[in-house]
Amino acid sequence: MCQPSPHLWNTCYRLLITFLFCVASSHAQGTTYVVLWFDTEDYIDPISDDAALRIANDLTAEGVRGTFKVVGEKARILERRGRRDVIEALGRHCIGYHSNWHSIQPVPAVSVQHLGFLEGADEFERRERSGFEDVGRIFGVTPVCYGQPGSSWAPQSNLALRRMGIHVYLDEGTQLGYNDQPVWYGGLLYVFNLGPYQLRADLDDDTPLPETFKQFDAAVSHFAGSSGGLISTVYHPTEFVHTEFWDAVNFANGTVRERKEWVLPKRRSEKDAEHCFGILKAYVEHAKSLHNVQFVTAADLIHIYATPIPPVVDTATLARHFKESISFLSMPSGDLSAADILLELLHVPARYVDGPTATGITTYEETTIPAFVFDSMLQDVRSFIETNHRLPNEVFVGSKTLSLVDFAATLAQHLLAPGPVLVVHGKVGFERCFSTDAQSAFKWPIHPEGFAPEELLQLARLQGWTLKPARLR
């Protein structure tokens, strides 16, 4: 029998590999989106104004639009210093909001730490709306996104931000996250906690680029093999011209210091600063050189992600899911948050509603609920949601209560097996998306020492009813 030569085998093998690669590539079309953002916050040293100007102009020259999240006081200072050049250069990019005072106490998480969901939202809005409006007035646009100073995150901000007209939360943090990609949470598109897809070239490393490019390319090839994904890259203009943060040298550990006592952070040499601008330029040019990589701004994000309107899914599927776990559900046709599912099971038209404001408790001890009582419970919950645009903490069974979680599981059970209403105790699944370590989640040099607001994580988990993955269109 004739044996093929090793050379022929080799050729066939290579052809096969090439063929398989081509087949794989023809299906590998996911786009990598890169949101490049700059927390523009140092209102102490004027050299930071020039850094922001330089970055904005460099990006414009590259044909790339970034997102500049501007602090209220920074915008006012730019106006006072007559820096129309900086305002105009940044204005060619996307403008976001980065708190009114950034590091002046009480910072956002400190100010709402002991407040509930609703009063915390009111307080956040009271402190932040004027800064948001100043940035809007000075830049002539409505800021598109918000992100907290440092790790000073608070779940109450979501409601306030929606009232202010902001729909995108763009930042880094570990308080919540799912699958290293954006989620819908609190009625906002959350770009947060992207893990390995939070990338940047280190400005202080002598040879940061090869390693960063390797990570960047790995992310791009991962997203190419799937339906695409997002890389989030953050810098601060101040980093390019300083070796230390403007706020750390003035306001560490909750320090309060009068304006005339503020000191300037240590500056980089001109050569060093030039090196830093070069690193950003090289990073941007590398991303531009890759196939299927696209820079997006915070404003673009709203368009590249599908709307959060939940898909139509049959009630039995939703009820079975809830019996297993009170959590979001991903279907081929779209995603539903636990709140979306509950509304569907209640036959309430789909819309965004906030989660409960406190942990409800179950005091009802019977194993069944009379049908006429359950009917009035359903009506009561629908009325609560229509009136308050949020989910109730608990539902009355006569004078006793079912926690929202137990009510949801009981409703799911009843829809699957009509007849006597059996009380079922639900299991919450979405809490795995939230940090349980307040100490590390809120670690930031500006927070008072030992700041660990468990209450905020508790409120965050309650709003987990609203969480679901965000899906690219």
Q: Is 147 in the site for Zn ion (CB under 5 A)?
A: no
- Burial of residue 92 (number of CB atoms within 10 Å: 0-12, 13-18, 19+): middle
CB 176 within 8 A of CB 185: yes
For residue 239, state whether it binds Zn ion (rule: CB under 5 A): no
DSSP-based three-state secondary structure for 446: coil
Question: Of all residues in this chain, which one has the CB nearest to Zn ion in the complex?
Answer: 39
Task: Assess 128 for contact with Zn ion (CB under 5 A).
Answer: no
Q: Is 39 in the site for Zn ion (CB under 5 A)?
A: yes
Give the separation between CA 45 and CA 188, rounded to whole angstroms. Answer: 33
**Is the distance from CB of 121 to CB of 160 less than 8 angstroms?**
yes
Q: Judged by CB under 5 A, does residue 228 bind Zn ion? A: no
Q: Reduced to 3 DSSP states, what percent helix, strand and coil does the chain have, rounded to the nearest 5?
A: 45, 15, 35
CB 164 within 8 A of CB 96: no
Q: How far apart are alpha carbons 43 and 37 in whole angstroms? A: 18
Kindly state the smallest distance separating residue 41's Cβ from Zn ion, in Å. 5
Binding piece for Zn ion, criterion CB under 5 A, among 51-59, 107-115, 146-154, 439-447 = 146-154
Between CA 338 and CA 13 the distance in angstroms is 50
Whole-angstrom Cα distance, residue 215 to residue 85? 35
Q: Give the interface size with Zn ion as a residue count (CB under 5 A).
A: 3
Contacting residue, 30, 120, 136, 149, with Zn ion by CB under 5 A: 149
Please say which residue, 45 or 344, places its beta carbon nearer to Zn ion.
Answer: 45
Interface map 80-119 toward Zn ion (x if CB under 5 A): ----------------------------------------
- Please report whether residue 131 would count as binding Zn ion according to CB under 5 A: no
CB of 90 to Zn ion, least distance (A): 15
Name, in order, each residue with C-beta under 8 angstroms of 341's C-beta and a sequence gap of 6 or more.
Answer: 318, 321, 322, 328, 329
Contact (CB, 8 A) for 341 and 367: no
Q: How many CB atoms lie within 10 A of CB 119?
A: 13
Q: Is 42 in the site for Zn ion (CB under 5 A)?
A: no
The residue (of 171 and 406) whose beta carbon lies closer to Zn ion is 171
Looking up tokens 């052809």, which residue turns up? 15
Q: Is 49 in the site for Zn ion (CB under 5 A)?
A: no
Stretch touching Zn ion by CB under 5 A, among 37-45, 111-119, 326-334, 344-352: 37-45
- For position 41 contacting Zn ion by CB under 5 A, the verdict is yes
Q: Of 45 and 354, which CB lies nearer to Zn ion in the complex structure? A: 45
Query: Quick one: 30 or 149, whose CB is closer to Zn ion?
Result: 149
Per CB under 5 A, the segment of 41-49, 202-210, 429-437, 455-463 that binds Zn ion is 41-49
Written as six digits, the tokens of 257 are 């210091």
CA angle 37–43–44, rounded 5-degree value:
130
Nearer to Zn ion, 147 or 228 (CB): 147
Nearer to Zn ion, 73 or 340 (CB): 73
- Contact stretch for Zn ion (CB under 5 A) within 144-152, 183-191, 212-220, 272-280: 144-152
Sort strands 67-70 and 94-97 into parallel, antiparallel or unpaired: parallel
Binding site for Zn ion (CB under 5 A): 39, 41, 149
